[in-house]
A and B are shown apart, each in its own frame.
Chain A
Amino acid sequence: DAGVTQSPTHLIKTRGQHVTLRCSPISGHKSVSWYQQVLGQGPQFIFQYYEKEERGRGNFPDRFSARQFPNYSSELNVNALLLGDSALYLCASTGGGQGLQETQYFGPGTRLLVL
């Protein structure tokens, strides 16, 4: 079975631009979460979605938004990019309705570089 997939794998943008990152969960998983991992630090929670509804939000500015589609895939959008947004963006999915309370399965991540 395919695991969590993310696209693109790498991305280079300039300050002020907008970026969209995509995630497909494991087949049958209905919950998707997004994390930002700056080099040398642990991942930080951005959003969790379950059945297309936002279930959790971390401490990130409104420039960050996300949505989940009927097929449970998800997009993370970041507007007005800053240099500090350069990071590895990770997506994770869970199988049940407990979301963050369960084991999460992570994708390989999208590495974003903002110049």
Chain B
Amino acid sequence: SQQGEEDPQALSIQEGENATMNCSYKTSINNLQWYRQNSGRGLVHLILIRSNEREKHSGRLRVTLDTSKKSSSLLITASRAADTASYFCATVTKGNQFYFGTGTSLTVIP
């Protein structure tokens, strides 16, 4: 099974609202990355957080990492219709294995 599990599987919000997605994983990691995918095409990197970091920001994105709970969250503030996409967390282990989560499908309604 994949390393990461995300919830919710699907999320629908109004434009301007905040969206929060959660990712849980199973084994120790070196870092955790979040990616966005539009319409089943290539993935776009959003943010990378290392295992010794607890929080990172990038524009409207805020990522937290709790290694004791093996979980991470991605917060998108003031969402826009263009944020509609699937969002994946990905964990990189010390053994150089790379695991994507199951993904959250976000729909932002204009």
Contact = CB atoms under 8 A, between A and B. Distances in A.
Contacts of A106: 35, 42-45
A101 B100 contact: no
A65 interface: no
A107 interface: yes
B52 interface: no
Contacts of A92: 43
A55 B45 contact: no
Interface residues of A, number: 28
Given A42-B2, A103-B33, A106-B42, A56 B97 contact: yes
Contacts of A99: 96
Contact of B96 (A48, A105, A109): A48
Contacts, number: 64
Interface string B59-100: 000000000000000000000000000001000100011111
Chain B CB count within 10 A is highest, among A43, A44, A55, A107, for A43
B97 A42 contact: no
B43 A90 contact: yes
Interface string B33-66: 1010000111111001000000000000000000
A103 B32 CA distance: 10
Contacts of B35: 106
B48 A103 contact: yes
A100 B103 contact: no
B22 interface: no
Interface of A: 4, 33, 35, 37, 39, 41-45, 48, 55-56, 58, 88, 90, 92, 99-109
